[in-house]
Amino acid sequence: MKVCIIGCGAIGSLFGAHLAKLPDVEVWAYDPNREHVDAINRNGLRLTGLADFVAPVKASSDAREIPACEFGIIAAKTLHTRAAMEATADIFRDGAVCSVQNGVGNEEIIAEYVPRVIMGTTFPAGHVTAPGVVNQDTGGKTWIGPFLPKPASMQEVNRLADAINRGGMICLPMEDSRGALWTKLIFNSASNAMGALTRLPHGIACEQVWPVMSALAEEGIAVSKALGVTLDGDPVALLEYGKQVAYKHKPSMLQDVLAQRATEVDALNGGIAKIGKEIGVPTPLNDAMTVMIKGLEFSWTLKD
């Protein structure tokens, strides 16, 4: 099996490294960061933290150097989804691409470029500590299933899930993964937004700004119910559980803010707010988070 990781940052590296441990899986990675790519090709892809090993991943910043692959796993930031798929679409002429990205709207973009799409969501988290080195901060499950209207077959979903599980991660194949995606979306909309605005890691934010975090989650739950989506778990309970297992973890949006990078707020709080408007469910807090974080991003462009 050939698998291409599209966007070999923290999350992509976790999948790529674990899959590359398998003797029957050849893992390639596409990432525009040449320094990161060069380090992976020179030294292998190193995981630290909860996982500690080096994996033989082949990486490139030129998608034309990557052979045709049966599966893709895209872990690029949501704002880079279209550019990433434009660059790599030819790799998957007869393949299936699975999104493990944050937020909503990614699968629709992926479906414009490849014949079959898998909807996924994942809870493991990490951060890049040096070129070619990623620290796995937390563990957790991944859920994947066919994405309509361009679904991969359940046979493909099961095959990819089997490889992920054999590589040492936990992956649950499902006929309908929307509930899992929305559970993670709601969790992220609360944890990421408040982390980004307060600069607080997840567990400390739960202690300091819990009323706002839980209220953000309740808005998302109301939208999911109106859509007829059965959540895979209770996002509020997950936020509380995260306090135990990810007390000092900096959510990805907080990492972006600290580095003054564009965030994924449009696909998280903005995505919930947009859908809420379309179906008539009020989301004033998610609206407010979106506006404030976009304002924060704009502040980085101002000169002293």
| Domains identified in the chain and CATH numbers | 2-173 (3.40.50.720), 178-299 (1.10.1040.10)
| Average pLDDT of the chain to the nearest whole number | 96
Report the percentage of the chain scoring pLDDT > 90: 95
pLDDT bin (cut points 50, 70, 90) of residue 242 is: confident
pTM of the full predicted structure? 0.91
The sign of the torsion formed by the CA atoms of 201, 82, 103, 45 equals: negative
pLDDT of residue 58: 98
CB 133 within 8 A of CB 166: no
Report the percentage of the chain scoring pLDDT > 70: 100
pLDDT of residue 245: 83
pLDDT of residue 63: 97
> Would the pLDDT of 304 be above 90?
no
CB 187 within 8 A of CB 193: no
> Would the pLDDT of 145 be above 90?
yes
User: pLDDT tens digit string along 182-223?
Assistant: 999 999 999 999 999 999 999 999 999 999 999 999 999 999
> Would the pLDDT of 155 be above 80?
yes
Helices (H), the chain: 10-20, 34-43, 81-88, 106-110, 154-166, 178-198, 202-208, 210-227, 235-245, 252-258, 269-279, 284-299
> Would the pLDDT of 87 be above 80?
yes
CA of 53: how far to CAs of 7, 201, 211, 235, in Å? 20, 26, 40, 32
Omega prior to 149 cis, within 30 of 0? yes
